[in-house]
Structure 1
Amino acid sequence: MTGQRTYKVGISGSYGGLNMGDEAILQSIVAQLRASLSVEITVFSRNPEDTLRRQRVDEAVPVREMTRGEACRVMSGLDLFILGGGGILFDTEAEIFLREVQVAHEMGVPVMIYAVSAGPLKTRSAQQLVREALNQARLITVRERGAKRTLEHTGVEHEIIVTADPALLLEPEPLPEGELGRIGLEDGPCVVGMSVREPGPAAPDIDHDFYHALLADAADFIIDRYDAQVVFVPMEQRVLDMQHSHAVVSKMLRPQRASVLKGEYTPGQLMTIMKQFTFAVGMRLHFLIFAALQGVPFVALPYSAKVQDFLSELHIETPPLKLVNAGRLIAHIDHNWDHREELREHIKSTLPELQERARENNRLLVELARSLPESRDQDRQAQRCAI
């Protein structure tokens, strides 16, 4: 790429080491962008030190600590700003994630909304913010059809292109020597992975007592029926997934056959660990994506539209969490266990089309970048910022 223009690109989302799914998204965005263009990348991160340690980026800034004036100064040096991907446009946090988008619009920096999910968006204030911010974007892609419907319902009139999650392009990464043995997954018995999802603003309808009991019953069944070990995989180790995993274990009748993964891993290393699983049962979207990428058949507990939409893309019929009881879940697990090789082949056959759609995000981004003028009057644009 010698002699090519170097683009200064900012990326903002739920980044900073809190969630392995979000880190997988950022890692994929960065890898594809660097393979396509000469770029200098600045990430607006909740934890800049963590982002610089994990990701191949040039700069990271503390997005939640910056004043608006500080955000303006960073934005004034960019050629292009990306918001996404992931599930970041919902009622209680849309305003937080859209602040930098609004700043970019004021500074004349082109904005791409990159493979986001949207919803719940029920409040008028959140709908108005999303509508105003996205209608001024240069390019919008979403990772599922449901997100497109949600944004259209809020009044977004800009073209919305349905692509797929960037994490579908992630590759496994090697573990430290001896790591599988240290965590008991090397040459061991049948292992089934499980994932939980804490209640929160993005999942306001989850009843944790209900799903704790549900997963505990399912884990005990798996242990007794298949003589398996159960390993819980916290996708948000620093927040509440760890606590909720232990809460499920505490309700089990056979807790001695269950463990919670405690090490700190990259998304690619987590994929390598999940390759050891015979089967998986999970709630979190990227736990299911990692399982699919590693050829691990799974049963999902769809707690939200984004999970249900991913299953629909794979042509896997699964009832939503609120319509599942212990008996129904166990019967579903037992059926899919008996047909796990067919399920594995089905997932393998449907993934390539989704992965091709995931690549479309970067293709569109590169096309947008190459259409930009050679330079902006950054000094003049910076004067627009209220410092």
Structure 2
Amino acid sequence: MRAVLCGYYGKGNGGDEALLATLLQMLPDHVTPIVLSGNPQETRDRYHVEACDRMGLFSVLQTLRKSDAFIWGGGSLMQDVTSAISPLYYGGLMTLAQKLGLKTIAWAQGIGPLKRNTTQELARQTFENCTAVSVRDRGSAALLSEWGIPCTLAPDPVWALEASPVLGLWDLPAPRVAVTLRSHPQLTATRLSNFTRALIDFQKATQTCILLVPFQQSQDLAIAEAIAPQLPGVYKILSLQDPKALKGLFRGVEMAIGMRLHSLIMAAAEGCRCFALSYDPKVSKLMAELDMPGWNLTEIPDEYHVIYNTLLEHYANGDSLTPDQIQSLVDQATIHRDLLHQILFAS
């Protein structure tokens, strides 16, 4: 069986690469994956799979015609906040796959936000015509229920991603704190400056090694490079391309301060204390579901010493998930794997 995997792959985003790595980990052995990628050669080299240029419409069409299944491979694909074109691209490919008679799976989706009536209707129709749907949060499940579309609800599959050790991590002084920030209009220069001042005082007080971890170089690296030289203690910018290593990084970290959804999932899965800075409803949903402390970006205190005291308090007294809680989430995340096996083994 040949299955086309479609997501925001090959675009340098650590979270989306982690979803791809997890999907490949969960696919049945008899399935040959063909990944639609923004960088097909890099995808071939990293995962040892077939890959096709996601924007080469003729080659994508040819690939679909030679395949048996089409899988939306996790994440917030059907949303129109970052781009109105995004749902047209993903919805168009899903509709085409359905018309060609492929088995179609919307896998581990986080649906929305959908602000436009046209994209809401496109999303409803494409999900309605899928062979099977799984979602990663209660809000998405509630929306599909509103539309009368059955789905499977389970935690984000990256909870179950296998982790790899990071070469040289244990040579860095302990304790270690990881920081994952991304550019965003709500992370204003003033807010970033206040956060940086708080982080400086936090490092002085804790003597921690600060790991600045860009999940997407194009959006995260400049912020990491701006903060790094201001830190008074030991730091390292860690740009890791392998999603399994990205998750493994958090095994050697005491606390994670993160904006990126999958940085928080990976950190929590590896037993870190987590503090979230939410720029998106998907991060806020995770905070609510795990009772994870943090702020929406618009709620970050104006006084840097309040930020500092809050981070210090969480570092000293905050809780990580228990091993039993982590195992429960990992076990539940494998429900996404069970759905793949059920549909892709069916005649």
Length-normalised TM-score, structure 1: 0.81
CA-CA distance at 1:146 after TM superposition: 2.0
Partner of 1:241: 220
Q: 1:148 aligned to 137, 141, 154, which one?
A: 141
Partners in 1 of 2:133 and 2:284 — Cα distance? 22
Q: 1:260: which partner in 2? A: 237
Match of 2:39 among 24, 28, 47: 47
The answer to whether 1:167 aligns with 2:161 is: no
* Aligned position for 2:173: 188
Structure 1 CA distance for aligned equivalents of residues 66 and 149 of structure 2: 26
State the distance in 1 between where 2:159 and 2:332 align: 10
Residues 356-380 of structure 1: CA deviation (Å, up to 9, x unaligned)? 22111111121112223xxxxxxxx
1:283 to 250, 259, 274: 259
Corresponding residue SS for 1:301? strand
Of 304, 307, 320 in structure 2, the residue corresponding to residue 329 of structure 1 is 307
Root mean square deviation, CA, Å: 2.2
Helix, strand or coil: the match of 2:72? strand
SS in 1 for 2:271: coil
SS in 2 for 1:88: coil
In the alignment, is the contact (CA less than 8 A) between 1:193 and 1:233 conserved in 2?
yes
Aligned to 1:43, the other structure's residue is in SS state: strand
3-state SS in 2 of match to 1:24 = helix
1:75 paired residue among 46, 51, 64: 64
Secondary structure, aligned partner of 1:137: coil
Partner of 1:338: 316
Determine which of 148, 152, 160 is the counterpart of 1:157: 148
Partner of 1:368: 343
Aligned equivalents of 1:194 and 1:117: distance in 2? 24
Tell whether the 8 Å contact from 1:292 to 1:348 is kept in structure 2 after alignment.
Answer: no
Residue 271 of structure 1 is aligned with which of 239, 247, 253?
Answer: 247
What's the secondary structure of 2:26's corresponding residue?
Answer: helix
Q: 2:325: which partner in 1?
A: 350
Letter in 1 for 2:8: S
Structure 1 residue 132, shift from structure 2 partner: 1.8
Q: 1:27 Cα shift?
A: 1.0
Which residue number in structure 2 is paired with residue 226 of structure 1?
206
* Aligned counterparts of 2:128 and 2:273: Cα–Cα separation in 1: 40
Give me the whole-angstrom Cα distance separating, in 2, the residues matched to 1:347 and 1:99: 42
Offset at 1:136? 0.9
Moved more, 116-125 or 269-278: 269-278
How far apart, in 2, do the equivalents of 1:317 and 1:222 lie? 17
- Distance in 2 between the 1:147 and 1:213 partners? 35
Give 1:189 shift. 4.1
Provide TM-score, normalisation by structure 2. Answer: 0.90
Identify the match of residue 52 of structure 2 among 54, 61, 64: 61
> What is the Cα deviation at residue 13 of structure 1?
0.3
Q: 1:118 aligns with which of 111, 114, 130?
A: 111
Deviation (angstroms), 1:60: 0.5
In structure 2, relative to structure 1, the CA distance for the partners of 1:279 and 1:272 (3 Å cut) is same
Rate the CA distance shift 1:347–1:288 in 2: closer, same or farther, 3 A: farther
Contact 1:30 1:56 survives alignment (8 Å): no
Asked if 1:209 corresponds to 2:185, the answer is: no
Most deviating of 72-81 and 326-335 = 326-335
Letter in 2 for 1:305: P
For residue 252 of structure 2, give the secondary structure of its aligned residue in structure 1.
Answer: coil
Unpaired segments ≥5 residues, structure 1: 1-6, 200-204, 373-387
Q: Secondary structure at the match of 2:171?
A: coil
Q: State the distance in 2 between where 1:129 and 1:255 align.
A: 51
Q: 1:142 deviation in Å?
A: 1.0
